[in-house]
Amino acid sequence: MKNWEKIRSNPELKKIQIKRNKINNLLREFFKKRGFLEVQTPILVKCAGQEPYLAPFETNFADEKNKKYKGYLITSPEYSLKKLLVAGFDKIFELARVFRASESFGGTHNPEFTMLEWYRANSDYNQIMKDIEQLVYFLNKKVNYSKYLKYQGQKIDLTLPWLRFSLKETFLKYAGINLDRAKTLKSFQKELEDRKDLKHFVDKNDNWDDIFYKVFLNKIEPNFPKNRPVIIYDYPLPQASLAKKKNKFSFYAERFEVYIGGLELANAFSELTDYKEQYKRFKEEQNLRKLLKKSVIPIDKDFILALRLRMPPSGGIALGIDRLQMLLLDIKDINDLLLFPAKQLFLD
């Protein structure tokens, strides 16, 4: 039975959708009280995000004269929002529909979902950390009337500030790997040479990113505390293509991720504003997409121009709204949250 049919036979389920609407209204209240402007940017674009491990939906269409065009559904509104920072807006947010192919149908994934992104000009990732702490605390107080969040039997203390660990610290603590000694593929492989507990995760054909993900997902992420939100910050440069370096010679960039109750919730940066460095990283990602036998996405030259015109130092974040709603409403599977999940549209 599909969700709309379940609601028809069980009106109590309608309350989930009413609460989702309340959460979105509260989000807008939170940002507007802080002087943010809500904006709306395109879903269909000429150049999608370059991330090698994301797959955008491609589309072909024609105009009234039958001239053909190729476009993409956005995986994130990030490029458009940063152009608006260059245009002179200093605090902006968007609740955007975004699309990612090659996603599973269920659990915490759906090919179409809602992303909240916000950006602050003349700021950095430290301020964004404070924003997300205050946002989630505010929403939970308004929705669940408590400083505690109850999710799948786990009581989560949202008291500010949240736990914060550098990524380097977590690799040392949970995997015994010093990322300072794993800056290249060869040195990373060497770190794992005598580690029987890690070696079976890694294949000889893996690149640096493959090894990083396998160690992170198997040895690091499962160990994050579940009773407190966790901010993991300062990611290696291969994992932070749109983020600013900590300093000129650093192997790390000012990126952080947020985990609550074991769910990955948000990804944030001090934004990279150097147009030459950004173009160089985009070219590297294009080459990696070729190696991975994925479609090569054209570089958004308009975005590079915007950076060239000088984007102010900025902080920004992408937060999965559906996952946040799952946490606040204590729902385990996204298929039980969405009115029309992809599983029911394409599989049932």
pTM of the model: 0.96
Neighbours of 53 (CB within 10 A): 13
- Joined together, the tokens standing for residue 211 give 């090894």
Helix, strand and coil content of the chain, in percent to the nearest 5, comes to 40, 25, 35
Exposed / middle / buried, residue 316 (Cβ in 10 Å: 0-12, 13-18, 19+):
buried
Quick check: bond before 161 cis, omega within 30?
Answer: yes
Q: Would you identify the CATH topology of the domain 3-159+299-347?
A: BirA Bifunctional Protein; domain 2 (3.30.930)
- Give the pLDDT score at 193: 84
Task: Report phi then psi at 61, rounded to 5.
Answer: -150, 170
Instruction: List the domain boundaries for the chain.
Output: 3-159+299-347
Say how far apart CA 311 and CA 237 lie, in whole Å.
20
Low-confidence stretches of the chain (pLDDT < 70) are: none
Per DSSP, 106 falls in state B
Chain CA centroid to CA 230, Å = 15
N- to C-terminal Cα distance for the chain?
Answer: 9
Exposed / middle / buried, residue 163 (Cβ in 10 Å: 0-12, 13-18, 19+):
middle
Tell me if 152 sits within 8 A of 261, measured CB to CB.
yes
Tell me if 315 sits within 8 A of 120, measured CB to CB.
yes
Per DSSP, 335 falls in state G
Per-residue pLDDT tens for 13-69?
999 999 999 999 999 999 999 999 999 999 999 999 999 989 999 999 999 999 999
Return the half-sphere exposure (C-beta side, CA atoms, 13 A cut-off) of residue 92. Answer: 20
- Give the pLDDT score at 202: 85
Q: What is the 3-state secondary structure (H, E, C) of 231-291?
A: EEEEEEHHHCCCECECCCCCCEEEEEEEEECCEEEEEEEEECCCHHHHHHHHHHHHHHHHH
- Give the pLDDT score at 41: 98
Report the chain's C-alpha Rg in angstroms: 21
Task: Report phi then psi at 235, rounded to 5.
Answer: -95, 150
Contacts of residue 263, defined as CB under 8 A and 6 or more positions apart, other chains included, come to 108, 323, 326, 327
Say how far apart CA 128 and CA 105 lie, in whole Å.
30
Per-residue pLDDT tens for 122-131?
999 999 999 9
- Joined together, the tokens standing for residue 308 give 């060239």
